[in-house]
């Protein structure tokens, strides 16, 4: 199996690049943001609870997202590999993911981190809010709160993978195709060194 984490702050382009990467490398896309939004759309108890938290720009509890990822791994026993997007977002989630992958006798090959300036992130998120219908993208206060959460709880997740020498940083500004080409170059390098 070949498993990757696409990492970066909100608005760094993880969702956009994930769509292209899963086609290129035949991976199964696991986005906790998408999984949560489908719970919201289905008006499930989990979705209703998660929406209130997401609309404040905060992270939903670790046990909720870890449970969702665990079920998704179980539901895809024949996947060639997984592309994790928006997960893990805390150190607790990172440790839980390692344990889950260990049980499947696999691991994370690399964490690819998209680097984008704060100013560009806010601009992109508010622009996305004009058309996406995502209630957490509409207001600058919520967008900034998500970035605060990222710096407080999520950016440390890169340190967790750095200790295993698994982090690659990619410049996340430029056209979608330019960034995709940079990602493919790194991933091909990783695949060739396996």
> Would you please indicate which residues are annotated as catalytic (active-site) residues?
14, 89, 128, 134, 146
Question: Judged by CB under 6 A, does residue 89 bind ligand ADP?
Answer: yes
Q: Decide: is 17 part of the binding site for ligand ADP (CB under 6 A).
A: no
Residue 13 is a binding residue for ligand ADP (CB under 6 A): no
CA atoms within 13 A on the CB side of 82: 25
From 3, 32, 97, 167, residue interacting with ligand ADP (rule: CB under 6 A): 32
Q: What is the DSSP string of 23-42?
A: HHHTPEEEEHHHHHHHHHHT
Q: At its nearest, how many Å lie between ligand ADP and the CB of residue 60?
A: 4
- The one segment of 10-18, 94-102, 108-116, 181-189 that binds ligand ADP by CB under 6 A: 10-18
Q: Which of these ranges, 28-36, 94-102, 165-173, 174-182, lies near ligand ADP under the rule CB under 6 A? A: 28-36
Residue 93 engages ligand ADP in binding (rule: CB under 6 A): yes
Among 5, 7, 10, 111, binds ligand ADP (CB under 6 A): 10
Cα–Cα distance, 157 to 162 (Å, whole number): 9
Q: Quick one: CA torsion of 182, 124, 91, 180, rounded to 10 degrees?
A: -10
Per the DSSP assignment, residues forming a β-bridge with 108 are: 3
State yes or no: residue 59 binds ligand ADP (CB under 6 A): yes
Q: Does 5 bind ligand ADP (CB under 6 A)?
A: no
54 CB neighbour count, 10 Å cutoff: 21
By the 10 Å C-beta count (0-12 exposed, 13-18 middle, 19+ buried), 21 is classed as: buried
C-alpha span between 17 and 99 (Å, rounded): 26
Q: Name the residues that contact ligand ADP, by CB under 6 A.
A: 10-11, 14, 32-33, 36, 53-54, 58-60, 65, 86-87, 89, 93, 136, 146
């Amino acid at each position: 199996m070949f498993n990757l984490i696409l990492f970066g702050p909100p608005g760094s382009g993880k969702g956009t690049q994930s769509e292209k990467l899963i086609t290129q490398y035949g991976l199964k896309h696991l986005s906790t943001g998408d999984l949560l939004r489908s719970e919201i759309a289905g008006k499930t108890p989990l979705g209703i609870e998660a929406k209130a938290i997401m609309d404040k720009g905060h992270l939903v509890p670790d046990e909720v997202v870890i449970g969702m990822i665990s079920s998704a791994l179980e539901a895809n026993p024949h996947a060639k590999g997984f592309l994790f997007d928006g997960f893990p977002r805390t150190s607790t989630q990172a440790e839980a993911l390692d344990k889950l992958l260990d049980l499947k006798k696999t691991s994370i090959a690399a964490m690819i981190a998209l680097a984008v300036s704060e100013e560009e992130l806010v601009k992109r998120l508010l622009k996305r809010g004009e058309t996406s219908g995502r209630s957490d993208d509409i207001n600058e206060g919520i967008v900034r709160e998500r970035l605060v959460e990222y710096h407080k709880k999520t950016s440390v997740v890169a340190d967790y993978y750095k200790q295993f020498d698994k982090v690659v940083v990619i410049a996340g500004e430029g056209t979608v195709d330019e960034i995709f080409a940079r990602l493919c170059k790194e991933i091909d390098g990783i695949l060739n060194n396996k």
